[in-house]
Structure 1
Amino acid sequence: MAVACALTAAAVLLPLAQAAPGNGHVPQVREPARMAVAPLAPGDTCQDPEASLRPSGLDGSTIQRIRAAGHLVAGVDQNSFKWGYRNPAGELDGFDIALVKAIAKDILGDPNKVIYRAIPTSQRIPALKDGTVDIVVRTMTINCKRLEDVAFSTAYFEAGQQVLAPKASKITGYDASLKGQRICTAAGSTAEAALATQSYGSVPVSVPNQLDCLVRLQLGEVDGIITDNALAAGQAAQDPSVQLVGSPFTKEFYGVAMNKDAGDLVRRVNKVLEDYRAGGDNSPWMTAYRTHLQPVLPGVSGPPAPKYRD
Structure 2
Amino acid sequence: MRARMADLGSALAPVAAGMGVMAAAAAVLVPVLSSGPAVPHDPPLPSPPRAASAAPAAAGCTEANAAESLRPSSADGDAVKRIKKAGRLVVGVDQNSYRWGYRDPDNPRNLIGFDIDLAKAIAKDILGPDPDIVYRAIPTNQRIDAVKQRKVDMVVRTMTINCERKEDVAFSTAYFKAGQQVLAPKRSSIDAFDDSLRGKKICTAKGSTGEQELDGESHGATVMTVPNQLDCLVRLQLGEADAVVTDSALAAGQAAQDPAVELKGEPFSTDLYGVAMNKEDEDLVRRVNKVLEDYRAGGADSPWTTAYDKWLKADLPGVSGPPAPQYSD
Q: TM-score, normalised by structure 2?
A: 0.88
Taking the TM superposition and a 5 Å limit, the aligned residue runs for 1:1-310 are 10-15=2-7, 16=33, 17-19=35-37, 20-23=39-42, 27-35=43-51, 36-40=53-57, 45=62, 47-88=64-105, 89-90=107-108, 91-310=110-329
- Specify the SS of the correspondent of 2:239: coil
Structure 1 contact 161–191 (Cα < 8 Å) conserved: yes
Q: Distance in 1 between matches of 2:309 and 2:6?
A: 28
Give the drift of 1:31: 1.2
Q: Distance in 2 between matches of 1:159 and 1:251?
A: 6
Structure 1 contact 102–111 (Cα < 8 Å) conserved: no
**Change beyond 3 A, Cα 1:42–1:186:** closer
Gaps of 5+ in 1: 1-7
Structure 2 contact 95–137 (Cα < 8 Å) conserved: yes
**Deviations for 1:83-140, whole angstroms, at most 9, x for unmatched residues?**
0001112110000000000000000003541110000000000000011100000000
- Specify the SS of the correspondent of 1:155: coil
Q: Distance in 2 between matches of 1:67 and 1:113?
A: 10
Q: Distance in 1 between matches of 2:146 and 2:315?
A: 30
Q: Distance in 2 between matches of 1:212 and 1:44?
A: 32
Q: Which amino acid aligns with 2:120?
A: K
Q: Distance in 2 between matches of 1:32 and 1:156?
A: 27
Q: Which amino acid aligns with 2:326?
A: K
Structure 2 contact 92–143 (Cα < 8 Å) conserved: yes
Give the drift of 1:296: 1.1
- Specify the SS of the correspondent of 2:173: strand
**Change beyond 3 A, Cα 1:183–1:33:** farther
Q: Distance in 2 between matches of 1:293 and 1:18?
A: 34
The percentage of counterpart residues that share the same residue type is 62
Give the drift of 1:30: 3.3
Structure 1 contact 75–133 (Cα < 8 Å) conserved: yes
Structure 1 contact 32–130 (Cα < 8 Å) conserved: no
Q: Which amino acid aligns with 2:315?
A: V
Q: Which amino acid aligns with 2:218?
A: S
Structure 2 contact 154–277 (Cα < 8 Å) conserved: yes
Moved more, 32-41 or 83-92: 32-41
Q: Give the aligned CA root-mean-square deviation in angstroms.
A: 1.5
Structure 1 contact 32–131 (Cα < 8 Å) conserved: no
Q: Distance in 1 between matches of 2:262 and 2:58?
A: 43
Q: Distance in 1 between matches of 2:189 and 2:151?
A: 43
Structure 2 contact 55–281 (Cα < 8 Å) conserved: no
Q: Distance in 1 between matches of 2:49 and 2:232?
A: 36
- Specify the SS of the correspondent of 2:172: strand
Q: Distance in 2 between matches of 1:132 and 1:178?
A: 38
Q: Which amino acid aligns with 1:87?
A: D
- Specify the SS of the correspondent of 1:107: helix
Q: Distance in 2 between matches of 1:307 and 1:74?
A: 24
Give the drift of 1:33: 4.8
**Deviations for 1:28-83, whole angstroms, at most 9, x for unmatched residues?**
34314522434359756564011100000000000010011110000000000000
Give the drift of 1:22: 3.9
